[in-house]
Amino acid sequence: MLGLRLLAIFICLTVVVGDQSNKAECGECEESACKPPKDCLAGMVKDHCDCCFVCGQREGELCDDEELPLPYRNSKFRPCGENLLCRPRTDMAPGDPPEAECVCERNDALCGSDGHTYSNECQLTEERYKRRDGLRAMHRGPCRSAPKIVSPPEDVKNKTGGNVAMSCEAMGWPIPSIEWRVDRGDGDTVPLPSDDSKIAVQSRGGPSKYEITGWLQLLSIYQQMMPLTGALPRTTKAKLLHLPE
């Protein structure tokens, strides 16, 4: 029991001595000797001695976190900047020394006054300090944008009885919907899948933010299946060419 008690006291003393050593390195604060920081893209913060203003670490940059083991703590990285928190990294490979990085407090998207969608407020802050032209957040959430097709369907050739699949990717905010239609050549288009049990239409979100992907599947194609149109309202076309047997 005595041995355990001595060990606990030794560990406690090690922590205190280490902390006092770091404070001793700072010395007295002479603010008049502080150099003004320049080009701070994450704002200004006090240094580890709580004396001079320095540029805050940006999102993704390393920082000192109290949760790190003692040998890896107090590496003299600058504190994290505006709206950033220092957190231990969770993507380290086994055996690598532990590290901490600056992460944004909130990760919801923001719509900037320039009409651009920023992934979080920290990205908007960086751009604001970089441009210095009055950029600000208009509202939380993405900026409204017209739908556009980023990956149109391609023409397909197949024979009677074959199976065909087409895909189309579109993006915008609010998220657009993808609609497939068949054009039989008479100037009128018919929405799919209609009542044909051999035609299936599916969609899912992604692969990127604010995107949607749609698929059209045709089973055992036949002569009447003609050129197809997808991804309305911004229309693109793909042809299904029926080949003779």
Q: Give the predicted TM-score (pTM) of the model.
A: 0.65
pLDDT in tens, 10-49: 343 434 334 444 555 788 999 889 999 999 999 999 998 8
Q: 235: domain range?
A: 146-241
The tokens for 73 are: 């703590």
The answer to whether 68 and 87 have CB atoms below 8 angstroms apart is no
Tell me, yes or no, whether 96 and 154 share the same domain.
no
- Domain co-membership, 59 together with 93: yes
How far is the C-alpha of 224 from the C-alpha of 227, rounded, in Å? 10
Residues 57-74 have pLDDT tens digits of 999 999 988 777 777 776
The pLDDT of 175-189, averaged and rounded, is 82
User: Parallel, antiparallel, or unpaired for β 236-238 and 228-230?
Assistant: antiparallel
- Examine residue 27 and state whether it is found in any structural domain, yes or no: no
Residues 220, 194 within the same domain: yes
Residue 211 located in a structural domain: yes
pLDDT digits (tens, 9 = 90+) for 82-127: 999 999 998 888 988 889 999 999 999 999 999 999 999 999 999 9
Q: Are 17 and 70 in contact (CB under 8 A)?
A: no
**Domain total of the chain:** 3
Please indicate, yes or no, whether residues 134 and 154 belong to a single structural domain of this protein: no
Flag whether 17 is in a domain: no
Q: Does an H or E element contain 15, and which?
A: helix 2-26
Instruction: Look up tokens 């390393």; give the residue.
Output: 62
Specify whether the CB–CB gap between 168 and 153 falls below 8 A.
Answer: yes
- 2 φ, ψ (degrees, to nearest 5): -65, -40
CATH code for the domain of 95: 4.10.40.20
